Amino acid sequence: MSPSSSSSSITSSSSSTIKSSSSLPYLCLREIFEFALQSKSGLLFSCILVCKFWNELAIPILWRDPFYNLHNHKKITHLLDVYLFNFTLKELKNSNLPTKLIEDYNNKKSSKYNYAEFLRRLNLTQIRTATSFWIKNKKYKDIYKDIINPKDCQIFQSFCNHFIKHSKNIKYIEFEPEYNSLFDFNLFELPGAEISLTNLSKFSCYGEPYNINLYESASKISTKIQDLKIILFYGCPINPSTLINISNFIRSQHQIKEFFIDNRIGCDCCTHDLSLALDLTIIFKSLNTQISTLSRINFISIDFHNKFPFDQLSKCENLLELNIKGCWNFGDINLIDLNYNYNNSSFKNLSDLQIIKSSIPEILIKILLIQSGKSLKNLKFEQTYLEEIFTEILIYCIENNPNLVNVLIYIDSKEIQYLPKFLRSSTKLNKLEIWDKSMRRKEMELLEIINLDDELFSDIGESLPIKLKDLTINMKWNFSIKSFENFIKNCKAPLDILSFEFCECFDNDYFDILIKNLKRSLKKLNIRYCKAKLNSEIRKKNEYLIQQIDS
């Protein structure tokens, strides 16, 4: 074959490949590009080079959230440069940039796309950080050295103005309010906000806006929020009208589905002045306007001031997930009668329930378990020696929640006797993690050793559900080698993970019994604080049965 014919063949083949790739259905290509976007290797960048058709479809996906996970200073500078090349002369001048920079960007030919119109996620904190990097990078280049004054440069606000003006359909806004008034402004009052922010569906605010009119302005423009996240740290708000404005903002919405509120006063490991906690009752009352759509609710570090919003929650018939973490002062719920005093459909669709380190009344726990019934799939119930003790979690799950799939619970030693019955009633259980409720972080040596009856331990092994993949016991169980052998022999569950991390009785003899009686291989065995001493030779010899051993 001659070189010319070979070249012609290659060209023809390449042309055929491009033609076939262009003929792929639009929805199919979108799935490909969405997958490529998640690739850390920059696969989507390669896709835009395939052909014009792919380029036009992939560019909007690539540029909808370009600031996400961007930490390289050079890449950040290049990204902002690309945007600046699309700035009008007026926008460049309003940015208070040096004349030399304005001339450089204005003389550069505009790109094919106006990339700002593809923006869908606006994280103001990331943009603020990016502009700081950009200023530093330009400042220390010889050509622009000492001509940029960060205090005078309004580049951050200019970018926000540009994005709000040119992007027609921003879906997500996330920001940490600035406490310096020079860098704070009302995003919802920028030119074009009534168009670009009208379809906003996700709103996250980490703190109190310096501009007290922000929520009021947002209420007039963005009324389609589906996911609302509000974090009020360290005793803010400073302004008394903030809580009223947030409440009115919630009332202005048509279909909030996810609601997250956090009033954390400090880190979890230290003591704090709990008097700084806010009374958020006015915000909880506004949830009455969203009862037909709310499906996920998160309460984090909330002092309910004895007014837990049970009435509002019980009316949310579509509530799927409820997360209560680090909350206190729920108040009495003694006016609630399980049979007569509230809507029987309350919590009937609840599939995910998390109660973590909260001083929650027993009656409320019982109501949630009873009402969620067969709908409850995932349960995380973490209580320690610091919280009120509820010792009937297993009993109530046995009686009401047969469809549990993933369970993490803290129990008392007296509750272990109910495990076999719980396991037999939970036939769909996939993951079970059990902790000692007297557990103190990093102080497992203070826990009491629990001597398990041989018959009980054997029965636990026999009652393990046939779908169970992960069994983690974080209690100091002490069991005989004979009962352990019966436990393994009786086990019909296809376990991938088995953990007796704090069961000190587990030594090399127990390990030998495990190896001898395993019916299928384990992906992981955790015996980290046990007596077993397993050298590399033993591990390698048995890696066909146990892929990973923590000891």
CA 109 to CA 453: how far, in whole Å?
80
Counting residues of the chain whose pLDDT is more than 70, the rounded percentage is 83
**What's the predicted TM-score (pTM) here?**
0.86
248 within 8 A of 221, measured Cβ to Cβ: no
Name the band, by pLDDT with cuts 50, 70 and 90, for residue 328. Answer: very high
Token pair 């509120």 is found at: 261
Q: Which of 210-224, 286-300, 350-364 has the least mean pLDDT?
A: 210-224
Q: Given a cut of 90, is residue 124 above it in pLDDT?
A: no
Q: Which of 74-88, 210-224, 323-337 has the least mean pLDDT?
A: 323-337
Name the band, by pLDDT with cuts 50, 70 and 90, for residue 338. Answer: very low
25 within 8 A of 53, measured Cβ to Cβ: no
- Give which of 35, 28, 83 is closest to 61, Cα–Cα: 35
CA 12 to CA 17: how far, in whole Å?
9
- Give which of 544, 422, 399, 410 is closest to 473, Cα–Cα: 410
pLDDT for res 349: 96
427 within 8 A of 450, measured Cβ to Cβ: no
401 within 8 A of 369, measured Cβ to Cβ: yes
pLDDT for res 336: 47
Among positive and negative, which fits the CA dihedral 98, 100, 104, 106? Answer: positive
Name the band, by pLDDT with cuts 50, 70 and 90, for residue 112. Answer: confident
What tens digit of pLDDT does each residue of 132-147 get? 888 888 765 655 555 5
The whole-angstrom distance between residue 95's C-alpha and the CA centroid of its chain comes to: 36
Give CATH 3.80.10 domain extents, the chain: 417-550
What tens digit of pLDDT does each residue of 28-43 get? 888 888 787 777 667 8
What angle do the packed helices 454-463 and 481-490 form, to 10 degrees?
Answer: 20
CA 205 to CA 228: how far, in whole Å?
9
pLDDT for res 13: 45
What tens digit of pLDDT does each residue of 161-189 get? 999 999 989 999 998 765 555 456 788 99
Name the band, by pLDDT with cuts 50, 70 and 90, for residue 14. Answer: very low
- Give which of 206, 24, 18 is closest to 126, Cα–Cα: 206
pLDDT for res 385: 54
Counting residues of the chain whose pLDDT is more than 90, the rounded percentage is 50
Query: Phi/psi zone of residue 524: left (φ > 0), alpha (ψ -120 to 50 degrees), beta?
Result: beta
CA 167 to CA 52: how far, in whole Å?
23
Report which residue type is found at 242. Answer: T
332 within 8 A of 306, measured Cβ to Cβ: yes
Q: In this structure, what are the phi and psi dihedrals at residue 382, rounded to the nearest 5 degrees?
A: -110, 110
Buried b (16+ CB within 10 A) or exposed e, 375-389: bbbbbbbbbbeebee
Report which residue type is found at 181. Answer: S
Report whether the peptide linkage leading into residue 3 is cis, meaning its omega lies within 30 degrees of zero: no
CA 163 to CA 157: how far, in whole Å?
10
Q: Which of 15-19, 175-179, 207-211 has the least mean pLDDT?
A: 15-19
Give every CB contact of residue 395 below 8 A, 6+ residues apart in sequence.
418
Q: Which of 5-14, 379-388, 415-424 has the least mean pLDDT?
A: 5-14
Range 417-550 classified under CATH 3.80.10: yes
Q: Most confidently modeled of 79-83, 239-243, 273-277?
A: 79-83
- Give which of 407, 409, 461 is closest to 431, Cα–Cα: 407
CA 230 to CA 12: how far, in whole Å?
57
Give every CB contact of residue 155 below 8 A, 6+ residues apart in sequence.
95, 96, 97, 131, 134, 135
The neighbouring-strand residues paired with 525 are: 498, 549
Q: Given a cut of 90, is residue 218 above it in pLDDT?
A: yes
Burial of 330 (0-12, 13-18, 19+ CB in 10 A): buried
Q: Which helix (H) or strand (E) holds 432?
A: strand 431-436
* Length reported for the chain: 551
What the block records as the tokens of 428 is: 């769909």
**Structure-model confidence comparison of residues 113 and 295, the more confident one:** 295
Q: Given a cut of 70, is residue 341 above it in pLDDT?
A: no
Reduced to 3 states (helix: H, G, I; strand: E, B; else coil), residue 523 is strand
Residue 456 to residues 146, 150, 483: CA-CA distances in angstroms? 77, 70, 9
Q: Where are the alpha helices (DSSP H) in 452-518?
A: 454-463, 481-490, 508-517
pLDDT for res 271: 63
